[in-house]
């Protein structure tokens, strides 16, 4: 798996919470990892990451890990992402705009203990 997609998954797990336990509210990365993703969730993540990278390669320009992380955060309207000043302004603006083509994604733990979107 490429660094962009790895960073995307890491960001997804640490920014999403597990409401399936009586305690609820734990960040998914506390108790789960990439191997816990349901196959269909992983496939969608791989497809979204591959498409985003292909369509925005010039602006990503080798910053794969940061871009994967920011892709998750920006598409899900977190308080940081491509637009927060870590990217050159024009590239950050274009990457932020490109995220509008991707709907928000919420992760949850299914009854089988796998993570679904």
Give the domain extent around 90: 3-116
Q: What is the largest CA-CA distance in the chain?
A: 45
CA distance linking residue 86 with residue 18, whole number of Å: 29
Per-residue pLDDT averaged across 37-49, rounded? 98
Asked whether the predicted pLDDT for residue 98 surpasses 80, the reply is yes
Among residues of the chain, what percentage have pLDDT more than 90?
A: 90
Q: How many CB atoms lie within 10 A of CB 52?
A: 23
Question: How do residues 73-87 score in pLDDT, each as one tens digit?
Answer: 999 999 899 999 899
Q: How many domains does the chain have?
A: 1
Which SS3 state, helix, strand or coil, does residue 23 take? coil
């Amino acid at each position: 798996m490429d660094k962009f997609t790895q960073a995307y998954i890491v960001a997804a797990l640490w920014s999403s919470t597990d409401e399936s336990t009586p305690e609820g509210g734990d960040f998914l990365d506390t108790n789960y990892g990439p191997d816990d993703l349901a196959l269909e969730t992983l496939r969608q993540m791989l497809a979204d990451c591959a498409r985003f990278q292909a369509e925005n390669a010039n602006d990503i320009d080798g910053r794969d890990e940061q871009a994967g992380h920011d892709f998750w955060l920006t598409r899900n309207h977190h308080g940081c992402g491509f637009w927060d000043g870590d990217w050159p302004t024009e590239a950050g603006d274009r990457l932020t705009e490109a995220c509008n083509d991707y709907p928000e994604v919420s992760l949850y733990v299914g009854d089988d203990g796998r993570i679904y979107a």
